[in-house]
Amino acid sequence: MLKFLTFGETLIQRNADYIGPYDPEGSYTRHVAGAESNVALDIRKLLPNRVGATWVSRLGADADGDMILEQLRGRVEVAAPQVSGQNTGIQILNHLGGGEVARRYRRAGSAASRLSADEVLPHLDGSDLVHVTGITPALSETCERATLSIMGLARERGIPVSMDVNYREALWSPRAARKVCERMLRYASLFKVGHDEAETIWGGGLSAEEFAKKFRSGGTLVTVVTTGERGAAAYDGASLVRHDGFSVEVIDPVGAGDAFVAGFLAGIFERHTMTGFFAMGADERASVMWDALELGNACGALVCTRHGDTEPMPSLNEARAFARGRTDGGQQLKTLDESPTAPLS
């Protein structure tokens, strides 16, 4: 059984049952939501007999913390003590129509914002992959130190690290995000960012493929840039692979990015370790990247068709069947790296 390790804040999401901006008198449904725990839950649903997932965090000693533990325990390994006198974070999600959403947070000073590297470190050894997002370091200086420390220790111990930028404008500015994300990039083996996020944080008007080349440098071996329903591109220094994605009627896009990440990772983990994937020859790795992109796009598309972060996540067979039954999925595009975009300085 492969070991997937992640850490970060999971919140109670109050998902509006109506279309429109925030209304304190409106009706809301409570869900458990957190980018890192979402990926852990999703990858376990895809590969329950292949990957074990551990999620590390801190929760308030409150009803919201109780609900999170109830939802996650038994599905992933949970290392998240409930701390008396500290609160569990809350996200209020409103749907504005056309797939657009607005988020409001009540997470300042939450228990998870005080997560330290010492709480994650005991779970590091034996991991096949450590997964982080740009949300965690945005929560507090303590979380920023913890994230960079664990990423660095993982690399020192030969453990691959995957990073999803997951930019949240309510948490930090593009300038602050860029400064920290570029430090995180030094330790990320696999880097994923949305094209819109890349443009917001780094600018430059580059295409997804150009951003994918830009971010691959140093120890970052594979980069993935997503473009919503138009799919995603992956680049490993030798091959540029693109899958054009799948069009669906979008009911709720929240959780789709996490589903894509879980699907992409599962596309690798289904038959390989992450270390083995990085060690492949260029042609074999390009084939695996395309398969992983297809699975990630299928998972992301299906999650958009229902409300909830992880509730709509398909099984591996469901995602594969969906992809096989569609004619709008893109083809593999592979090129040699003859004119790479300048990497980050």
Per-residue pLDDT band at 71 (split at 50, 70, 90): very high
Q: Is 258 a known active-site residue?
A: yes
- DSSP, collapsed to helix, strand or coil, labels residue 239 as coil
Residue 98 lies in a domain: yes
pLDDT in tens, 134-154: 999 999 999 999 999 999 999
Q: How far apart are CA 175 and CA 99, in angstroms?
A: 27
Boundaries of domain holding 307: 2-324
The pLDDT mean for the chain works out to: 91
pLDDT at 331: 52
Assess whether pLDDT exceeds 70 at residue 330.
no
Average pLDDT over residues 87-103: 86
pLDDT at 196: 96
pLDDT at 338: 46
Per-residue pLDDT band at 336 (split at 50, 70, 90): very low
Per-residue pLDDT band at 341 (split at 50, 70, 90): low
Residue 216 lies in a domain: yes
Average pLDDT over residues 5-11: 97
Tokens of 271: 């038959």
Residue 189 lies in a domain: yes
Residue 336 lies in a domain: no
Residue 17 lies in a domain: yes
Assess whether pLDDT exceeds 50 at residue 37.
yes
pLDDT at 255: 77
Place of tokens 């594979």: 222
**DSSP character at residue 114:** G
Residue 339 lies in a domain: no
Structural domain total, the chain: 1
Assess whether pLDDT exceeds 90 at residue 31.
no
pLDDT in tens, 236-291: 999 999 999 887 887 767 778 999 999 999 999 999 999 999 999 999 999 999 99
Residue 343 lies in a domain: no
How far from the centroid of its chain's Cα atoms is residue 179's Cα? 19
Assess whether pLDDT exceeds 90 at residue 72.
yes
How many C-beta atoms lie closer than 10 Å to residue 175's C-beta? Answer: 8
Catalytic residue among 164, 258, 291, 309: 258
Residue 338 lies in a domain: no
pLDDT in tens, 218-241: 789 999 999 988 899 999 999 999
pLDDT in tens, 309-321: 667 789 999 999 9
How many C-beta atoms lie closer than 10 Å to residue 32's C-beta? Answer: 22
Among 212, 316, 303, residue whose Cα is nearest residue 251: 303
Tokens of 99: 């797939």
For residue 261, what is the domain's CATH number?
3.40.1190.20
Q: How far apart are CA 335 and CA 107, in angstroms?
A: 45
Among 208, 222, 220, 130, residue whose Cα is nearest residue 182: 220
